[in-house]
């Protein structure tokens, strides 16, 4: 019964909040588990605890003086003005305009206090979600902590760190469904379709705020790489659509970039947590590095092939080169590192998914433990 489950969950959340010290591990499990944190009122209490923020000592509200001679102001202003759809439909114009002003001030405040951070387009989608849930003063503290931790990789001077995280996507898909992986590789679609998902925590691509804040419950309680696992399960959930698509970059990119709004969010969250346990970031880092090396080698081979074709006048030889449809890709897959036996991988996946129903919050607890442990070594793990 939904109502009784909700009451039990509420009781566990308030019990964890009233513990001395506060039971953060239980709060993480509650945020990850079915339904997340249930209400914005609870999020206002729990989100700060997940980020170790002292709500009794919040910073003062930022002032308008931050806009003077600020190198990011014009870009932030443009992005915020374009953010109309990120506000609940029917919100009065004066209320929305006031929130947009708060949004600008929060962003500039965080950037001013942390000059090592660099603004990126899409950052405002995360900030506006937090602002709508917790209000301006608490949002300022939450956004600053997020920016220096979970979002830190996206706020470097270049996109190299973001690209590195995107490289984790294909190894996850490969482990769970090699057919989809190989199809996407043949289509040469890459991972750019998932960029906006990752850097906005899906806030830019999902239209219903309820779904967005449910994902934020999940991501705030987890390791900073969890959004890439969630991106992978979305692709895997749409596997038949992908395989039915024309095998070319434009078609597959168009399909995947148009994210459905009626996703089975709770199911996908459970699967993402399961994948995190099966394929932790340390393992994915090795596989992503291997795939990057293989792509570099394949690119170098293409360059050599092109140079050879230009130097030789033998038309037959040039035709031979042209008749190698992704030949190096085929060779690459044959010579690549040994994979786990597919039947074994699929069996493990099925057992893990079945186990979620039996074990309840066991996977959530494992994921929550990883979130408690990641902070001191995260930067070393992701950016060796």
Residues 193 and 143 in one domain: no
Taking only the tens place, the pLDDT of each residue in 19-74 is: 999 999 999 999 999 999 999 999 999 999 999 999 988 878 777 788 888 899 99
**Which CATH number covers residue 107?**
1.10.8.1310
Residues 136 and 244 in one domain: no
Domain housing 112: 1-156
pLDDT values of the chain reduced to their tens digit, one per residue, 384 residues: 778 999 999 999 999 999 999 999 999 999 999 999 999 999 999 999 999 999 988 878 777 788 888 899 999 999 999 888 889 888 999 999 999 999 999 999 999 999 999 999 999 999 999 999 999 999 999 999 999 999 999 999 999 999 999 999 999 999 999 999 999 999 999 999 999 999 999 999 998 999 999 999 999 999 999 999 999 999 999 999 999 999 999 999 999 999 999 999 999 999 999 999 999 988 887 776 766 666 555 444 444 444 444 444 343 333 433 444 444 443 344 334 444 444 434 433 433 333 333 334 555 666 666 655 543 333 333 332
Residue 317 backbone phi and psi in degrees, to 5: -65, -40
Q: What is the pLDDT of residue 363?
A: 58
Boundary (domain end) residue, out of 254, 279, 304: 279
- In sequence order, which residues have a C-beta less than 8 Å from that of residue 178 and are 6 or more positions away? 339, 342
Boundary (domain end) residue, out of 156, 179, 203: 156
Of 74, 85, 84, the closest CA to residue 108 belongs to: 74
Q: How far, in Å, are 57, 106, 141, 271 from residue 148 at the CA level? A: 18, 14, 11, 28
If one counts the domains in the chain, the total is: 2
Q: How far apart are CA 49 and CA 27, in angstroms?
A: 8
Q: Are 273 and 34 in contact (CB under 8 A)?
A: no
pTM of the model: 0.78
Q: Are 223 and 276 in contact (CB under 8 A)?
A: yes
Here the tokens at position 155 are: 């706020």
Q: How far, in Å, are 76, 159, 275, 320 from residue 260 at the CA level? A: 28, 27, 21, 42
Residue 303 lies in a domain: no
- Residue 115's H or E segment, with its range, is none
Of 144, 101, 129, 134, the closest CA to residue 203 belongs to: 129
Residue 363 lies in a domain: no
Residues 264 and 122 in one domain: no
**Which CATH number covers residue 194?**
1.10.472.80
CA 206-158-50 angle, 5° bins: 50
CA atoms within 13 A on the CB side of 17: 17
């Amino acid at each position: 019964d939904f109502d009784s489950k909700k009451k039990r969950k509420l009781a566990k959340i308030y019990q964890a909040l009233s513990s001395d010290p506060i039971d953060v591990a239980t709060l993480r499990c509650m945020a990850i588990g079915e339904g997340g944190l249930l209400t914005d009122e609870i999020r206002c209490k729990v989100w700060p605890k997940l980020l170790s923020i002292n709500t009794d000592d919040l910073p003062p509200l930022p002032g308008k003086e931050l806009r003077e001679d600020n190198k990011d102001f014009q870009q932030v202003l443009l992005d915020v003005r374009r953010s109309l759809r990120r506000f609940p439909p029917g919100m009065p114009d004066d209320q929305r305009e006031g929130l947009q002003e708060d949004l600008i001030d929060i962003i500039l405040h965080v950037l001013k206090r942390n000059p090592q951070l660099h603004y990126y387009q899409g950052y405002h989608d995360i900030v506006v979600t937090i602002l709508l849930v917790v209000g301006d003063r608490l949002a300022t503290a939450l956004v600053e902590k997020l920016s220096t931790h979970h979002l830190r990789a996206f706020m470097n001077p270049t996109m190299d760190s973001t690209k590195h995280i995107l490289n984790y996507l294909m190894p996850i898909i490969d482990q769970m469904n090699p057919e989809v992986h190989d199809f996407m590789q043949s289509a040469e679609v890459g991972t750019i379709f998932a960029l906006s998902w990752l850097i906005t925590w899906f806030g830019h691509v999902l239209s219903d705020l309820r779904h967005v804040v449910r994902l934020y419950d999940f991501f705030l309680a987890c390791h900073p790489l969890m959004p890439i696992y969630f991106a992978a399960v979305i692709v895997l959930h749409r596997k038949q659509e992908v395989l039915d698509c024309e095998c070319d970059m434009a078609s597959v990119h168009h399909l995947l970039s148009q994210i459905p709004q009626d996703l089975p969010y709770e199911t996908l969250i459970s699967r993402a947590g399961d994948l995190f346990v099966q394929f932790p970031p340390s393992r994915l880092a090795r596989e992503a590095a291997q795939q990057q090396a293989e792509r570099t080698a394949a690119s170098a081979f293409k360059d050599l092939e092109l140079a050879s074709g230009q130097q030789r006048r033998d038309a037959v030889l040039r035709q031979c080169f042209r008749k190698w449809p992704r030949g190096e890709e085929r060779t690459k897959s044959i010579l690549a590192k040994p994979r786990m036996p597919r039947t074994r991988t699929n069996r493990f996946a099925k057992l893990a998914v079945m186990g979620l129903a039996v074990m309840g919050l066991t996977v959530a607890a494992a994921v929550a433990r990883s979130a408690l442990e990641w902070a001191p070594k995260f930067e070393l793990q992701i950016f060796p």
